[in-house]
Chains A and B, each alone.
Chain A
Amino acid sequence: MNLSVKRINAIFQKDLKDISKNIFVLSTVLIPFLFAFLYGRQGDVPLEVQFLIINIAFTAVGAFVQSAVIAEEKEKNTLRGLMMSPATSSEILTGKSLLSAVLTVVTMIVCLSITNYVVTDPIMLLSMIIALIFFISLGTLVGLMTKSLMEASVVSVPIIFVFGMGRMFQELFQGNKLVMIFDYLPNVQLEMLASQITEGASFAESLPYLGTILAWTLISIIVTVIVYNKSTLDA
């Protein structure tokens, strides 16, 4: 598979210029900052809250911004132009994902520095990188399956609730079997992994959590690629 860095960078640079003038999408980036400021002022921030902020950054920035940029390309018929250019599917998808990835990483670094959380464990860091890929892939999927920026925004709301604040729902509906499924969500697995690592879990003990996040990521990438390839054809 040949990837042209020049083409990927061209799409990234274009998105960067475009989003700097898109107030609607940029405003969602403020949500995790808001949470970080609110909780950061209260002194010691518990691990659950740290992960609430991390997961909101993943969903509101990673997934939402990604779904918005893809949905807008579809709405304005510019995605068709990219598809009809010599850029490969991998170049287009990578180029289109870079902006949300960079924005999420920057948002997370700033937010976690406000709440004083430092990720030092390599397994934890790897899991967060894999989770980032999952959320961007999820955003791409939402963008591809919706017809407009507005529709993508509406669909993103439950995603932000489930994947961003799933842990809060678990606590609200304790004992409900349906909510137990939430345990296997990548965001909850990420928090569980962090908790295990804090308690001194070994590499082997961390693997099931990492494996679950990886499985979510691989499935979402496969589904996204299938949907993208289908969208190269008109209905």
Chain B
Amino acid sequence: MEEIIKVDSLTKFFANEEALDGLDLSIHSREIFGFLGPSGAGKTTTIKLLTGQLLPTSGSATVFGVPVKEVNSPQHLKKIGVMSDNSGLYERLSIYENLKLYCELYQVTTDRIREVLEMVNLIGEEKKMISKLSKGMRQRVVLARTFLHKPNLLFLDEPTAALDPVNSEQIHRGLRELNQNGTTIFLTTHDMREAETLCDRIAFLNNGEVQLMGPPKELQRQYSNGNIRLELKNGHEVEVQNNKEGAQKVHEWMSSGELVRIQSHEPTLGEIFVDITGRKLI
């Protein structure tokens, strides 16, 4: 598969403080890649470096084979969509007017507005002034604006951070739809469920370094202790090892009719992060 983003030993210092320490990454076409880490881990810095909003201190990175220094040129920006923590909207204009401006800048027809509003669950709200919207609604307008030109590559900095579960699910559907149509997605998130259900691969970032990378299910299997969790009739939950002894216990409880539920026990991504870094993902 075509390599869309290639990062080699990327380092970024702010004054004397290191924000990124020798980051290596390779993201392929049509991949949904999740960047996970606590606040200050370097996630937003990475997005800013990859979109040409910041210059690296050392190392190199390319997007579509172009060095990041040149990424913020108009011909490349046509292919990229960026939603960051500081994406602003025109407060005195309506949702429709905000999106119409970007339709003209990207030279797409205004018919697209309805499609993106549907993706972010804002149909019927287009006449509302931005100043009257809640934080979650504003975030959905920014997302709609990012989707307008059907970018080949999307950078999303915590896209569902301010959203309720229903709207988050709607955004996930929209992102999957874009991805199925060929958009590669690079997103940062604190939401482990989002990472598990949406991303093809994830990377844990801590103190500017990638600690672990891979498909979420594979990482969960890798860090699983292999135990099986059982729920018994008396309401107790017990864990047995996945071996001969464990099988005997399961057999006994099954025979006596004590067993209610049986499930494999895999660690959550949050638990894996704590396991490898000793820090919580907040």
Q: Which residues of B contact A18 (CB under 8 A)?
A: 90, 92-93
Which A residue sits closest to B69, measured CB to CB?
Answer: A233
Give 14 new A-B contacts, CB below 8 A, not counting A7-B105, A85-B106.
A7-B107, A10-B100, A10-B101, A11-B105, A21-B92, A76-B89, A80-B88, A81-B87, A86-B105, A88-B74, A232-B52, A233-B53, A233-B54, A234-B48
Q: Which residues of A contact B86 (CB under 8 A)?
A: 77, 80
Q: A232-B72, A234-B54 are known contacts. Are A86 and B106 too (CB-CB below 8 A)?
A: yes
Interface residue? B102 (CB, 8 A) = yes
Q: A10-B105, A11-B101, A18-B93 are known contacts. Are A86 and B87 too (CB-CB below 8 A)?
A: no
- B93's partner among A10, A17, A77 (CB-CB below 8 A) is A17
Q: How far is the CB of B80 from chain A (nearest CB, A)?
A: 8
Q: Which residues of A contact B87 (CB under 8 A)?
A: 77, 80-81
- Report whether A86 and B54 are in contact in the complex, using a CB–CB cutoff of 8 Å: no
Interface residue? A130 (CB, 8 A) = no
Q: Mark A1-41, 1 if CB is under 8 A from B, else 0.
A: 00010110111001001100110000000000000000000
Q: A17-B97, A78-B89, A83-B72 are known contacts. Are A6 and B104 too (CB-CB below 8 A)?
A: yes
- Report whether A84 and B82 are in contact in the complex, using a CB–CB cutoff of 8 Å: yes
- A14's partner among B80, B82, B97, B106 (CB-CB below 8 A) is B97
Q: A7-B104, A233-B55 are known contacts. Are A86 and B78 too (CB-CB below 8 A)?
A: yes
Interface residue? A82 (CB, 8 A) = yes
Query: Interface extent on A, as a size class?
Result: 20 to 34
Q: How far is the CB of A45 from chain B (nearest CB, A)?
A: 37
**In whole angstroms, how far apart are the Cα atoms of A98 and B198 in the complex?**
44
- Report whether B102 and A85 are in contact in the complex, using a CB–CB cutoff of 8 Å: yes
Interface residue? A87 (CB, 8 A) = yes
- Report whether A77 and B104 are in contact in the complex, using a CB–CB cutoff of 8 Å: no
Q: How far is the CB of B43 from chain A (nearest CB, A)?
A: 15
- Report whether A82 and B105 are in contact in the complex, using a CB–CB cutoff of 8 Å: yes
- Report whether A84 and B77 are in contact in the complex, using a CB–CB cutoff of 8 Å: yes
- Report whether B54 and A14 are in contact in the complex, using a CB–CB cutoff of 8 Å: no
